[in-house]
């Protein structure tokens, strides 16, 4: 039994154990009510997608393009939005996935200034320190955990009702694991709010694919558990239309390496 059947070595679980007796993906889990309702916001406002399209056609790599997507000095803006959203939640319990220990260290006093009790979980802490921070979070003595390469699995805190993505991961397995920290059902929450600050063209492609899956699974259903038939809401309509208008390989972008170049229809070559 596994929630994430994708292996890091890319071997198929079917080869190891045979075909699954039963399977249900994350989209079906949400639609059928086995997972918490999600209010997922992918925050890309401020990106000039027409300029990105022009740069893409000039043959830049995914890594080059992501440099253009990065918005400097976002930490203060991220903390402001997180604080605002936490204030609106009942018994806010948040997990933030950070880029590095240094990044989390910068965020912690900014969160404290907003009245948010935040603690870190990372490999440089002792086992006792990590256990203490996690226990305090479970008990509600800490409002937010800032995770660096931790909490991908092995934690069950159903009351988590806010997930903040502040780092990119190119592994679908890790992304689903991190998202899953907020998908547990709990009587104390009606939904999990996801704030995705990751400016990476592959993350946008993954979000678009989730929406396509949600639209297909919800089609014809009397009750559709996704707002507007979508899992991910974009704060900028131009974000999704960029992929529809310019890219010929939308389904493949999520798995591209840093050195890959985007493919365009002949009309845009």
Q: pLDDT tens for residues 203-250?
A: 888 888 888 888 887 666 665 577 667 888 888 777 777 777 766 555
Taking the C-alpha atoms of residue 99 and residue 107, their distance in angstroms, rounded to an integer, is 11
CA pair distance 195, 166, nearest whole angstrom: 9
In the three-class reduction of DSSP (H, G, I as helix; E, B as strand; rest coil), residue 18 is classed as: coil
CA gap 135, 133 in Å, rounded: 5
Residue 42, classed as helix, strand or coil, is strand
Q: Give per-residue pLDDT as tens, 7-25.
A: 666 677 888 888 888 888 8
Q: Ramachandran region of residue 135, left (φ > 0), alpha (ψ -120 to 50) or beta? A: alpha
Out of 53-57, 66-70, 183-187, pick the least confident. Answer: 66-70
Q: What does the mean pLDDT of the chain come to?
A: 80
What is the domain partition of the chain in residue ranges? 44-69+199-254, 72-198
Structure tokens at 151: 């909490």
194 DSSP β-pair partners: 40, 163
Q: State the Rg of the chain over Cα.
A: 19
Q: Taking the CA of residue 61 as centre, how many other CA atoms within 13 Å lie in the half-sphere pointing to its CB?
A: 7
Q: Taking the C-alpha atoms of 212, 233, 185 and 190 in order, what is their torsion angle to the nearest 10 degrees?
A: -140
- Residue % of the chain over a pLDDT of 90: 22
**Which of 156-165, 184-193, 224-233 is predicted least confidently?**
224-233
- CA 65 to chain centroid, in Å, comes to 20
Average pLDDT over residues 127-150: 91
> CA-to-CA distance for 254 and 59, rounded, in angstroms?
18
- The residue with tokens 């079906």 is 28
Which overall architecture, per CATH, does domain 72-198 show? 3-Layer(aba) Sandwich (3.40)
Q: Report pLDDT for 221.
A: 65
CA distance 87 to 85: 5
User: Which pTM does this prediction carry?
Assistant: 0.81
Evaluate the CA torsion angle 13, 17, 23, 26 in order and state its sign. negative
pLDDT number for residue 128: 94
Element (H, E) at 66: helix 62-69
pLDDT at 82 over 90: yes
């Amino acid at each position: 039994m596994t929630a994430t059947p994708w292996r890091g070595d890319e071997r198929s679980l079917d080869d190891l154990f045979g075909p699954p007796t039963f399977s249900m993906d994350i989209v079906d889990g949400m639609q059928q009510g086995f997972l918490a309702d999600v209010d997922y916001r992918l925050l890309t406002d401020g990106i000039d997608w027409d300029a990105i399209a022009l740069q893409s056609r000039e043959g830049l790599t995914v890594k080059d393009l992501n440099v253009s997507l990065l918005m400097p000095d976002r930490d203060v803006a991220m903390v402001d939005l997180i604080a605002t959203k936490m204030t609106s939640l009942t018994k806010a319990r948040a997990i933030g996935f950070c880029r590095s220990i240094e990044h989390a260290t910068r965020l912690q006093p900014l969160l404290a200034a907003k009245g948010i009790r935040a603690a870190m979980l990372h490999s440089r802490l002792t086992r006792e320190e990590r256990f203490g921070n996690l226990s305090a979070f479970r008990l509600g003595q800490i409002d937010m955990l800032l995770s660096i390469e931790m909490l991908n699995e092995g934690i069950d805190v159903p009351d988590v009702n806010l997930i903040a993505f502040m780092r990119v991961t190119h592994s679908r397995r890790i992304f689903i694991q991190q998202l899953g920290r907020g998908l547990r059902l709990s009587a104390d929450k009606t939904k999990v709010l996801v704030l995705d600050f990751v400016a990476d063209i592959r993350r946008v492609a993954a979000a678009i694919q989730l929406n396509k899956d949600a639209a297909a699974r919800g089609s014809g259903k009397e009750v559709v558990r996704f707002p507007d038939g979508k899992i991910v809401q974009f704060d900028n309509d131009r974000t999704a239309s960029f992929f529809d208008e310019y890219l010929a390989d939308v389904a493949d972008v999520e798995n591209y390496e840093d050195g890959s170049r985007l493919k365009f229809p002949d009309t845009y070559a």
